[in-house]
Amino acid sequence: MDALKRQAAARALEHVTDGMRLGLGTGSTARHFVDLLGEKVAGGLRVIGVPTSEVTRAQAEACGIPLTTLDEIDHLDLTVDGADECDHALNLIKGGGGALLREKIVAAASDRMIVIADDSKWVDALGRFPLPVEVIPFGLAATQRAIARAFAQNGVSGQMGVRKGKDGHVFVTDGGHWIVDAHLGRIGDAPRLAEALSLIPGVVEHGLFIGLARTVVLAGADGIRVIERR
């Protein structure tokens, strides 16, 4: 699986050219991309990156990739990031690594987003992977009730739980927020649910990435498939 992730990352790297401003994703697949990009930078490629998490920032710095922020530049040429699920419309579930907020800000500021993944992430319908919803700790129960209502109005339901870290404590995002993971099974209309979740006070962001990915690079046992959004 790790070899497939690296193959997808290597293929995405072919889209990087000298002078590009890049969004650097988070997760085990994006980690390969940053690693390979670091090798190119060491070889003389000139790029500048905006990391989507503190973990990626630390990795990129260690690899010698020059970094900037979205306050210093007005847009990015390309973001390369992983995903937890991708459907045939190239809508995504992201946030398994807890970086969904910065990942969405960076993707939205990019001319193009390439998703890199092994082919287990390719699904007919989003929702088997628990949907991460980033919330403000204040008023958590009220926010969860509003989320449950939005689910019901969109024909989905399932268990919700506040994400815990490996140490058993509540997982806190880079932005200081919490994540509620919702086990929905199958989301019939992801764009509609995404809009409904965005309207809830207390929801900072959710892991439905609608219309952001332009290209998906999927690595599988039979090779690499590149799928473009129609």
Q: For ligand 5RP, give the closer residue by CB, 16 or 100.
A: 100
Q: Which residues in the 1-40 window bind ligand 5RP by CB under 6 A?
A: 25-30
Residue count, binding to ligand 5RP (CB under 6 A):
18
Q: For ligand 5RP, give the closer residue by CB, 23 or 146.
A: 23
- 103 is a catalytic site residue: yes
Q: Which residues in the 50-109 window bind ligand 5RP by CB under 6 A?
A: 81-84, 94-100, 103
Q: Which residues in the 193-222 window bind ligand 5RP by CB under 6 A?
A: none
Closest distance of CB 165 from ligand 5RP, Å: 14
Q: Which residues lie closer than 8 Å to 45 by C-beta, 6 or more apart?
A: 16, 18, 37
Closest distance of CB 220 from ligand 5RP, Å: 14
Q: For ligand 5RP, give the closer residue by CB, 6 or 21.
A: 6
Closest distance of CB 108 from ligand 5RP, Å: 14
Which positions from 101 to 130 touch ligand 5RP by CB under 6 A, shown as an x/- string? --x---------------------------
Q: For ligand 5RP, give the closer residue by CB, 38 or 82.
A: 82
Residue 93's nearest CA partner among 3, 204, 221, 183 is: 183
- Catalytic entry in 39, 54, 85, 103: 103
Q: Are 96 and 163 in contact (CB under 8 A)?
A: no
DSSP readout, the chain?
-HHHHHHHHHHHHTT--TT-EEEE--SHHHHHHHHHHHHHHHTT---EEEESSHHHHHHHHHHT--B--TTTSS-BSEEEE--SEE-TT--EE--TTS-HHHHHHHHHTBS-EEEEEEGGGB-SSTTSSPEEEEE-STTHHHHHHHHHHHHHHTT----EEE-B-TTSSBP--TTS-EEEEE--S--S-HHHHHHHHHTSTTEEEESEE-S---EEEEEETTEEEEEE--
Closest distance of CB 115 from ligand 5RP, Å: 8
Closest distance of CB 121 from ligand 5RP, Å: 7
Catalytic sites, residue numbers: 103
Residues that bind ligand 5RP (CB under 6 A): 25-30, 81-84, 94-100, 103
